[in-house]
Structure 1
Amino acid sequence: MESKEQIAQAAEDLFLTYGVRSVTMDDISKKLAISKKTIYQHYRDKDEIVCLVTERVMEREEEQINEIKLQAKDVIHELLLLSKYIRAHGQSVNPSVLFDLQRYHRSAWEIYLKFKENVFLYSLIGTLNKGKEMGYIREGVDVEILSLLRLEEIQMAYDPDVFPRDKFNFQEVQVQLFDHFVHGILTSKGLETLKLYKEK
């Protein structure tokens, strides 16, 4: 019998590839070659699976952010590493995932929003404040406002209504949004450091 963990992993693979709404319990059972009855022995319904998968993905995102912070040589390097990770990760994720959560799985969407505020936003605010202290970020920058802006930019790039992937390359969209963001907040010292990292 498949374990609860194996079912969650199979569901996650399908959700990230095809989007959440389009994946049915039948799809999950077919992927694992088990009956739907077996899935229902572990999960009440699809929404419970979606919530668990969302928690798993967000926890891995938090681990990755912490790892990047440890690897980064300074604030500029950290911002670049985060941007690179977002581009690589987002390329393999179906663009409808976040918007399926928002429209059809409100409990999972609340889990995402909680992580977004308590982990992603908190982390970015800390990074930008540190950048100010080191002279990389302009003194007049409101780090909370700009951190919120950056998170919304990242999320917006996944929106197929704004950037349909048959017209826009996801990685290029993220590059353009990142460049627009950092050029708006960096001092001359920050821009020079950014240039040096890009040349490497």
Structure 2
Amino acid sequence: MDFENEEELKKIRLFIYKYGLKNSSIEDAEKNGIDATNVLLKYGSLSNLVEQLLAYERASFEQIFKDTDFENMNAIDILLIVGQEINKRFHYLSPGTTLGLKKQFPTIYEKHIQERLAYIYDKVKKNIEKGIAQKIYKKDISVEMMARLYISKLNEIHDPEIYPASEFTFSTVFSRLIDQFIRTNANEDGLQYYKQRKQLYTVLNFGH
């Protein structure tokens, strides 16, 4: 991940998810260590800043697959590791936190969503194909249909009517989607493996 102002973008991102853009002020930004005037001068406009923030959001997710060698790994372990990393990197997000950005910058937000879902769709298809080849997923699965179904469920995460921000975190909902995905696609051997590995991951991460 190569962002010249990565630390600054991290700080701005946390600020926006805490306060939102619409209801925040320059004073709020300064209290959180952000020079709002300097930031706007650097990025030229608020829309350019938001575009950079969302690009950084996508890159942060994609970095998970660059940091870990998934090539020869079990398909179920891959999903469990991705779920863990999502929890670590996006624990502060709630499903409704980007709703303000969607309303204020619909074109930029829609482009962000489409690029993110296209990336995830490709990874999900490969995971299903890997699981079938490893004989831990059901052999009669429609790869295309199950990948599309997962993406449709993932797209619901940011709907505040389905997942109110006060009740759900992004990482919790994402973990539940992974759980449902594995239970739907795994055969008996896969389910047994999943139960054992899930218990192990829970123990290893207890207290973290």
TM-score, with structure 2 as normaliser: 0.76
Kindly provide the CA deviation profile for residues 81-104 of structure 1, in whole angstroms up to 9, marking residues without a partner as x: 122333444431143233333332
Distance 1:35 1:25 in 2: 6
Matched with 2:85 is 85
Aligned to 1:154: 154
Q: Which residue of the partner structure matches residue 128 of structure 1?
A: 128
Identify the residue that residue 179 of structure 1 maps to in structure 2.
179
| TM-aligned CA deviation for residue 49 of structure 1 | 0.4
Letter in 2 for 1:12: R
1:113 deviation in Å?
1.6
Q: Which ranges in structure 2 are unaligned for 5 or more consecutive residues?
A: 201-208
Change (3 A) 1:169 1:59: closer
State yes or no: 1:54 paired with 2:63.
Answer: no
Three-state SS of the structure 2 residue aligned to 1:162 is: coil
Provide the residue aligned with 1:16 in structure 2.
17
Residue 116 of structure 1 corresponds to which residue in structure 2?
A: 117
Query: Any idea what SS the aligned residue of 2:149 has?
Result: helix
Give unpaired runs (5+ residues) of structure 1: none
Residues 138, 25 of structure 1: CA spacing in aligned structure 2 closer, same or farther, 3 A cutoff?
Answer: farther
| Structure (1 or 2) with the greater helix fraction | 1
Alpha-carbon offset, residue 160 of structure 1: 2.3
Give aligned-pair identity as a percent: 16
Q: Distance in 2 between matches of 1:34 and 1:90?
A: 24
* 1:17 and 1:93 in contact (8 A); partners too: no
Off by >6 Å, runs of 4+ in structure 1: none
Equivalent pairs, count: 195
Deviations 1:36-74 (A, max 9, x none): 2x3332222211101001111211210113334439731
Q: Counterparts of 1:21-36 in structure 2 under 5 Å?
A: 21-23=22-24, 27-28=28-29, 31-32=32-33, 34=35, 36=37
Instruction: Report what 1:107 is aligned to.
Output: 108
CA distance in 2, matches of 1:175, 1:35: 35
1:142 CA displacement? 1.8
Measured in 2, the distance between the counterparts of 1:168 and 1:9 equals 22
Root mean square deviation of aligned Cα: 2.9
